[in-house]
Amino acid sequence: MATKTVRTRAKPMLATDVVVVGAGYAGCYAIAGLRRARVDVVAVDPTGTMDMLPRLAAVAGHADAATDAAIELTKLFPHLKIVRGKMKRFRKGVVTTEAGHRVRGRVTIITAGAQPTEPTIAGLANAFQLRTAADALRLRAAVGEAEDVVIVGGGATGVQLAGALSNSGVANAILVDSASRLLPEFHESLGSHAKDLLSARGVRIELDAAVESIQPNGVVLEDGTELIGLPVWAGGFRATMDAFKVGPTTEGRLNIGDDLRVEGTKDVLAAGDAAAHLDSKGNLRPMAAQTAVQAGSGAAKNAVRMLRGQPTASVAMRDLGWVVDLTGGRGVAQVGPFRFATSGLDRIPPYLHDFIDAKTLYEVGGVKAVKRYSPGRQTTPPEGLDLEFLQHYLG
């Protein structure tokens, strides 16, 4: 019996000046810059929200409201055209999502593309993650029913989560890292003072402690020690741009020129986690919000230049410093040569954290955004994160 081939009709193509893939910090700064230049832009993003990354640990740890985790893009950018979905492939200027939606731009800015690192640790899938607003809300729900939380990773995310949990008191925190100190990426004084603050709050800290496996109910160290509690992975993330074959990559991040143009392309820019941003010594910059906002703004300016047939410009990156807010009015920070990592000075970082949050809102959405979406101002969860099983925990 002959078989009949049924062909499905391709979804209509949406055309625009610039396609922005991803609506994190780099993506939203790019969108804001493009809209100020009155350029037609379409955003491709799975949730249609801007995840407020510096707030996520406090949200997950019940120190801040669940509604602080993200902001709907259409509230920040009225009338913005959004295609909800993840990019599946990119070919000849066309972004195709997993659902088959297609968007063609004269210029494309790629900003999305990171997932948890995959070390040789058995059972990593058993751990909760903390990278997106959805991750924070899922973790918040689980933490509400846990007695102990085992956090693997003593970098900024892990330290902030431990601080939030110890401040809210919703669960006991156990912080584990294979390094000899907390915050190993920063000056030693920041990690030392963060350890003192967390220890004083009752956080159990295990350093020089390599993890052998992660179980559904805890973590097993290489020396056989079992740490029982809700497992959370805060051990870092990696870029995932190799699969899309947009251009050559370094450690999964797209190689770019000084103008953020992807190597080997004419009309594709990359910024944020998707891009291999280099420092003055030629080393990869860490995936961080401060890099994302500078790159997103620079990508928007160069996209406009490309549309107008003008030469692109180099995008300079500055090291703006680091702020780690432990909630409860304490934290550690370094801004230029100044370190805030002693008793008394540790009261300053939370104010710096709030200032950076307000600055981000202002630069993306103006004064209205600051008034409406500063922490504690939103009363309902963003539509893209309105998950049924979380409703009991929101608010």
Give the pLDDT confidence score for residue 112 in this predicted structure: 84
Give the pLDDT confidence score for residue 235 in this predicted structure: 83
CATH architecture designation of domain 14-46+85-116+237-307: 3-Layer(bba) Sandwich (3.50)
Delimit the CATH 3.50.50.60 region(s) of the chain.
Answer: 14-46+85-116+237-307, 124-235+321-373
Tell me, what amino acid is at 154? G
Among candidates 173, 212, 213, which has minimal Cα distance to 194?
Answer: 173
Q: pTM of the predicted model, to two decimals?
A: 0.90
Give the pLDDT confidence score for residue 83 in this predicted structure: 95
Separation of alpha carbons 137 and 130, rounded Å: 9
Q: What is the pLDDT of residues 101-159, one digit of tens each?
A: 999 999 999 998 655 565 678 998 899 999 889 999 999 999 999 999 999 999 999 99
For 305-322, letters b (16+ CB in 10 Å) and e give bbbeeeebeebeeeeebb
CATH classification for the domain delimited by 124-235+321-373, as one of 1.10.3720.10, 3.40.50.2300, 3.50.50.60, 3.30.499.10: 3.50.50.60
Separation of alpha carbons 247 and 328, rounded Å: 45
Residue 295: φ, ψ to 5°: -70, -40
pLDDT tens digits, the chain, 395 residues: what are they? 454 544 545 677 899 999 999 999 999 999 999 999 999 999 999 999 999 999 999 999 999 999 999 999 999 999 999 999 999 999 989 999 999 999 999 999 999 865 556 567 899 889 999 988 999 999 999 999 999 999 999 999 999 999 999 999 999 999 999 999 999 989 999 999 999 999 999 999 999 999 999 999 999 999 999 999 999 999 877 777 877 888 998 988 999 999 999 999 999 999 998 999 998 888 888 888 899 999 999 999 999 999 999 999 999 888 888 999 999 999 999 998 999 999 999 999 999 999 999 999 999 999 999 999 999 988 776 776 554 434 433 43
